[in-house]
Structure 1
Amino acid sequence: MSKKQHLVIALFAAFVAIGMAYLLYWFQIRHVALQETVQVVVPTQFIDSSTVLDESMLEYKPIEVSSFEKGMVSSMDEVLGMENWIPLGKGEPLLAWKMNRLHLYPLHHQSTFQIPKEYVLSVFNGIRAGDRVIIYSSSPGGESKRLFEQPVTVASVRTSANVEVDDSEHSLASSIAEGNEQQLYVSRMTPNGSIEYINLNLTEEQWLAIDNLCKDESSKLVIAYQSSFTDQGMKEADSE
């Protein structure tokens, strides 16, 4: 065998050895990567839908990096004070799309009630879905008073045409999601109609108190705007 043939064989063997070494290195790196973990947020127990999440309900759980999917929540701060659209299973990674920040749905101990028009004396026309409102009773022959210590959440406000009252170009919900305080203010000042119907998330006791007070027309409600939704405000109200 000639010297040239020996050189070709040696070069070929060297390339094969380099290739094998690279493949071995690649498989080792991939194996290590598969063994790496990332922390995700999971429920500590089964959580029913429309529950406001707090730290006692959540914990961190390590999963393999290869199992991590887009939308999984990796920080509790992202979801504290939010409510879940659907039930959450114990230990399952929390997905962002299951969370809602506006709290338009009633909590587990509440229902959504439409307040009869004849029960309402006045309602601030800047109120929007997701707002917190204070309810007062007004009686011509009696004492006016605040009905409930804690404010309640507005599920929706609608015009006489059954259209949600909002800014037709920039919705209140999108302004809150974007954190655009200036647009949030503008949205309240440019409604697409006047409030004709208001729906509130109330406990059974709250609704019965309103109905018993107003059904004989001796008292009417004054519904006042308190503030836009805040995580801390909702958590404090829910803890009462």
Structure 2
Amino acid sequence: MTATAALRARGVVVRFGAATVLDGVDVDVRHGEVLALVGPNGAGKSTLLAVLSGDLEPVEGTVEVLGTPLADWRLRDLARERAVLTQEHHVSFPFPVADVVRMGRSPWRGRAEEGLDDEVVAAAMATTDVTHLAPRSFGALSGGEKGRTSFARVLAQATGVLMLDEPTAALDLGHQEAVLARARQAADDGAAVVVVLHDLSLAAAWSDRAVLLQRGRVAAEGTPAEVFRGPLLSEVYDHPVEVLPHPATGDLLVLADRHAGRSTTQKVNP
């Protein structure tokens, strides 16, 4: 049975000045699935996520959240349905980590769910391994610690749609796996998860579907096995790419073909 779409975008066009950043993009983000947005730098991944979240209005096209046009949502109501993790993690004042995470509960203020604040915040901090950082000033954290704190805030928001822009950036290997495992768990529990990733092996391991963007257009969409193919990735990334199955797990490993890359360089620069 096909999962229902929590987010649906059709014909999305975004221009910054004379540059067309997204050009007629269609995408669905479905309940019960992790959708990975992948592609080279400047392909439009973060821009598409911003359009889906409502942070950026397209010049053409439509976006629906739970079947309702994005423009028809009140911001507070929307915040109870979808949570957004951006690339940048800024807090204007020196709030302690615990307070930053608790900010994720603000959409539930004045509702019955507010009574769960302490429990939800504690669980989010434990999941992201920031409990020990609770009294620390957010501004004094490392990049990875800020990322994990911001992810905890998103989890504390307790929504059915998670929108994550490069959540593994600046994280060590163990925390990368932990963050994506938690995103995977959310999808398994029925949430719709869309995540921008640069590491294609991580995307292949943790996503149900992938959308490969190239110069603002969808170059391919489907399961990781359908999208992560060496010839296609080599063309899109303009660099030789090899895709191999892991010898033990069968997970797809997406690797730069350095031997082919050296050979190409030698031919161009003898």
Q: Name the TM-score class by shorter chain.
A: under 0.3
- Give the TM-score normalised by structure 2: 0.24
Greater RCO, 1 or 2 (C-alpha within 8 Å, sep 6+): 2
Report which of the two structures shows the higher radius of gyration computed on alpha carbons: 1
More helix by share: 2
- Give the TM-score normalised by structure 1: 0.26
